[in-house]
Structure 1
Amino acid sequence: MNIAKAKTDWALSAHPPGSKQARPLAPLAALGLGLFALGFLVGDEHPSLLALAAVGASMLVSAAVIWGTRRIARRRLDRDICIFRDLYASSATGTALVHDRSGRILWINAAAQSLFDPSLHSYTTDILAGISADPATLATRLHERASADGTASHTVPMDHGDWKLVVRPVGQGHMLWRISDTPHSDPRDELPVDMIDCAQDGRLRYLSPRLRPKTGIAPRHVADLLELPMPESGTLAHFTKRGSGTHHIGLRMPATPDGETIILLPTKTAPPDTGDSFSALQVLPVALGLIDRDGRLIRINDETRRLLRLRKDDTPRFADVLEGLGRPVGEWLADIRAGRVTNPTEVLRAVNPADDLFLQVSLRPYGGDGELLAIMNDATEFKALEAKFTQSQKMQAIGQLAGGVAHDFNNLLTAISGHCDLILLRHDRSDTDYPDLMQIQQNTNRAAALVRQLLAFSRKQTLQFETLDLHDLLADTIHLLNRLVGERVTLSLRHGEDMPLIRSDKRQFEQVLMNLVVNARDAMPLGGEIVIETEHCSLPGGLRRDKATLPPGDYAVIRVRDEGVGMPPATMAKVFDPFFSTKRQGEGTGLGLSTVYGIIKQSGGFIFVDSEEGQGTTFSIYFAAQAAPLVATQKPARPNATPATAERSTILLVEDEAPVRSFAARALQLQGHRVLEADSGEAALELLGDPTLRPDVFVTDVIMPGLDGPGWVAEIRDRFPDTPIVFMSGYAEDSRIAAQARFGKAVFIGKPFSLAQFTAIVHEQLRKVSEAA
């Protein structure tokens, strides 16, 4: 009896089948015998104790029945184990006999013992613990499926291969587990040709099975296998296998930085003396073609015909089936024949296939009649990745351009908006010029919003959250959206009742609506209706959808619905992916909906899409409802009114842009302040050289030629440690953090700003000075 059987017999004697911890029979039998003897001996004197004899007899009978049942089950199990030992003991597949209900391993063969130590795995759950987080559930599921279907399997990918388990019932409440460990195979082993893959130094990395020696030491270098010298890359040549004298016709593929590949064919496929080495390459999994002096493909192998979708007898002109991306193919062929090209490899586009197909084509001289051998590789995926990279580079360039022009453009908008505010102070609503001035102000604000949208799109500006009323927001946006949809599309707006407020960046939310409406318009080329509707939605139990979980609460829902062509499920799954677009090249960047998704998620909201082909598409946006902000009871002061806490103060204004400096100085002077102007950081230091000058507030631009705002403030901060600072800048990229992090009592205002915003932030700093005093 082997070790496995000994362990099984011990397990059966201690734990009979069907129970994980069966009670021993000896105490039961002893107790029954004692009760029977006591009742039999004293029963005459005490008749009431005769019942003990009956109880003891029944316990003895029960113990005997249980012992007999166990013995029968053990003999039956021993018989089954003998059968399975004869069948599977020498099997190369790991095999185990397992009890169905308890999962205890009853017998195991040597192949399974090599996969795991059976002494440490008494139950199947112990074996599965290394491959499953819930081994008991996996084992139960496998047994239930095997009982219902007759077999069940489970595959686990491992580092060295696949670990496959097959379970099937074998009667008597037992399950047969078959465990196989299959190493990963190299797909190149199945090629109909022999292949050699080596590094740049000639060190072998792969050999086809037919080239591997059956005995002895395997070659480590290509020179140990083939007689050198080797031919040029991309040319056909005759190879001789070292030591055997076997001749091969082979192709040395163009080398890559990682190494190179040699494909060999035996001479019985194409004898060396036939002179027709090209025929031997018909079975190669590489597209090859022979081009004559007239540029015609006179010989084509099967892989080339498959790629270019050519019939068997077609011999087209090379320039008719492939077109150059930068210059005509005919000129390229002429340059190669004349020796004017040092690297004869180009990426060409196939003309015939319906789908875009790009081939990387390498040309090599072949024979003495000016013929060229074309080696073609499918480069479609590479070109797709290149196109995506190029598109991302364009987007990055837009972002850099936006950040570069934002400073100057925001300075211009600040000057326009500020001087417009100054003029409005001298005109009331009854003035005939008032509507024109309001048009200037509104369009200036719209231009400022466009700059902010461009900066946010290029991720150079953070979102500025505020509490928004959807009714007012959509009323302001609907005029712009109407101009976007065109004449054949109708835009409708439907408001729900009791709509709550939301919290988001106003300009970015407008960008979200613009992107959704434009996409809806493009989905209806023949016209139709786009509906923007709002709804107050209460979710007391929350909502789970599309891998997202909405917590319980009240939500404001904005839906954008169209009557367009709709989307199939495959498109819906990728609709928010960057660079994914169903539009033709040049019509869309594939960034619109991904930007929408990013803005909504950054605002703490959720967006879902519902669509059906031919029935239209609906985008639903969920924002958590916000409480109404507290309304101030006091009447706000007019922009030109001097606050009671701000007496006549001295303000140092440092700004390199003359129009902005002029507007800011006049705005502060209208408040009754004394303003000292400087056009650079150096000029500001020169003014502060006067020891009698003690400004109450510093107002300075951040980015200036020469000494910037934080730079000149740092030089005099020890003299004015408590003077508040107002930093202003048209740059969005980290301006706030860079300016405020180094100094206390500093605030930031981004350009463009209005007269009211500018005077309010300066007065707030003056108020702090008054409170500190």
Structure 2
Amino acid sequence: MKDAATGLDPLAAEAVAQPAPVREVLLIALAVLASAGALWLVTGQPVIAAAFAGGVIVVALLVRLGFALRPEPELPEFASPDWSVTHAAIESDAQAVAITDRAGRLVCANSRFTEVFGSSPPPRLALDKPGSDAAEESARKAWRDGAAQVERVLATSGGEWTLSVQRIGRGEDHLVWRLAALMRQDIVAEVVGHLAGKLGRALGREGIPSAVVAPDGQVLGANRTFALRAAGDENAPIAGTDFVDYFRSDEHDRIHFAREGSRGAAVRLVHVPVADPDKQGSTDPGQTASLFLLVEAESGVGDARAGLPQIEALLSRLPLGLAMCDRDGRFLFANPAFLRAAGHDDPNVPPPYPSDLVIREDKGALADAVRRYAQGAPTAGDVAVRLRSAPEEPVSLSLAGVRGLGEGAVLLSLKDSSEETRLKREIAQATKMQAVGQLAGGVAHDFNNVLTAIIGYCDLMLMRHTPGDSDYDDIQQIKANSNRAASLTRQLLAFSRQQTLRPEVLQLPDVVAEVSTLLKRLIGEKITLEVTHDRDLGAVRADPVQLEQVLLNLAVNARDAMSGNGGPIAAKGAAGILRLITRRVTAADVRAMKSEILPIGDYTALIVEDTGHGIKPNQIGKIFEPFFTTKEKGKGTGLGLSTVYGIVKQSGGFIFAESEVGKGTRFTIYLPVHIPDPADAAEAQAAKPKKQPAREWTGGGRVLLVEDEDTVRAVAERALARQGYEVTTAADGEDGLEALSRVLGAGGDFDLVVSDVVMPSMDGPSMAREIRRLKPDLPVLFMSGYAEEQLRRDIDIPNMHFLAKPFSVAQIVTAVEDVLRGR
């Protein structure tokens, strides 16, 4: 309560405003009067004495006035004690709390104190004799030192307590007594409760069944993993059953769950006594409960990471990409093969997390997968991710949960698919090239028909014009350009592997020697030609003319690559080396190459290598495509390498290109070694048609001309008619058969059938077979833009002859004459 007059606490107001004692005032007044009297006696002047006394009185009054006018000091405000608030503050069920004053009176106590000890003030508590003595000693020590504590006192009502005493208050005139009951812990019940909670689930996540067993063998509690393996249901009532009933031993004394039998994994029991560690020395082991941890018999106990370094050392040497993660998804280690397959920059230091290796869109899925396999029972699976090093091509990352390797929880496996990706790309390229080749062959075949008509009509027109005529030069120009177009169609046929080849058994060094002189003139003096031949080269079967064309095309490309920018060789500073190498490649060498494209066998390789500017990586997969070129406009048609590819493939070989920008390019051609078979040679000689003897032929004859293209048919008819042949024409195979039947029915005959191969309704070979039933000895001359070798292989008709399109008037006349003469 504050004083109404001063606004201060009553104690502070009394200290400031209370007047001095009357006795002290009287003593001061007597002293002043004595001093004035003594002054009067000495001076004999009463006025001086009165002036002295009056001056002292005035000074005293001024001092009194000064103290009265001085500002009052601001003293702290203290509320008077409100014991209801204090009682609410100390209310607690865990402790008995009481407050006593200096006289030992009980000022305040909580409900717990009055419930146990009543209203007796401390230290007069209901304690045993040693407890009471300890309480009194604690009170004295608290008044002296400020605090005291007793570890254990015994209450007369039963139970043990801890006692603490503390001195408090503004005047430090109160003591706070706190008493807390000593609880008796049931460690067995606590362990059973933990197995039913998070501890049991954590052990189950690691695949460790656990159970608490009483001394009499009864199960007191178990985790869900134990219930699942022991009873087949994780919620089965296990408590109260006999622990040993859940196990059986086999003939090797290995312990199995009785429900699983020998098909289940053998287990080993790790025994942990459940006893108070503070009383371990005085506890009988036979009277304590036991915690049993069941681990697989093959797994070790102790330092779970003891064998992990050896496992890391083993996995680091494997070619398969393997890595290990902990339960938090962090990398523990990753072998170099894994980091190479993942495209990581540093092959020795893995990133912190596996998700750091994939693109942003796949980070969450991979992190969830790792976390999922790190928990629960060990399982395995795959997840498709896209690596940062190759975001366009998903890869399969294998994950497997593992247990018993300490911190290791998930094993990751990643196959280095760079070689597989390269092979897929090559196979796709080969498939695309085959499709483009078929298209190019069809286009070339149709274009050959057009060129045959153009060249034929030019020949017919030239027969009516002589040199010097105004139209003669124009016709010759048309024919020249037609022949140039014919050469382009031959390149398309070479690319599509449908041109006519004349294969021979030959040695590659002989072909290189034949073309070396021409190559030196072609590449010029600035470029050095180096030729190297291996020993014991196997013979190959190919067309030497076409192989020379392959070398010429590759040499021209090499020359342009070493010229600087694909143009003519500069006058200064331009130089390079063109190497032609022949090499023997055995089946063992091919097997060591591990190529999915090159079949295992013996080959003779032809290598064309230059030191030019190289081919960019994004272009090397397109160099064999028709009309693809990196040269300037007008400097190349883009058919050179496609022609090379077609010739090599038609010869049964394989061609590969390797290049490094700024260092050069290497083309390697593998041609299979030709191994002659005597039996096949004898059979081929026996099956070879006997050469027909030359017939008496003086010119002329009847010819059946079958061609579906009107212009080609008209040119061929006029060309043969001009030479004196009697020509009967037909638009397709059915018309040809009708014409033959009509002539034969009228008693006539034909000396020769000239027919196209591909025709609507009935093609040329089908018509020829029907004609042979009527006239077995009638010769047939086929006209086609496809390869003769392929046609002979597909048609297989005796006494069959071939004329390649496009042809001139003179060529068809000569071919017909040769057939009729029996050549």
Query: TM-score interval w.r.t. the shorter chain?
Result: 0.3 to 0.5
Question: Please, what TM-score do these two structures have when normalized by structure 2?
Answer: 0.40
Question: Please, what TM-score do these two structures have when normalized by structure 1?
Answer: 0.43
* Structure with greater Cα Rg: 2
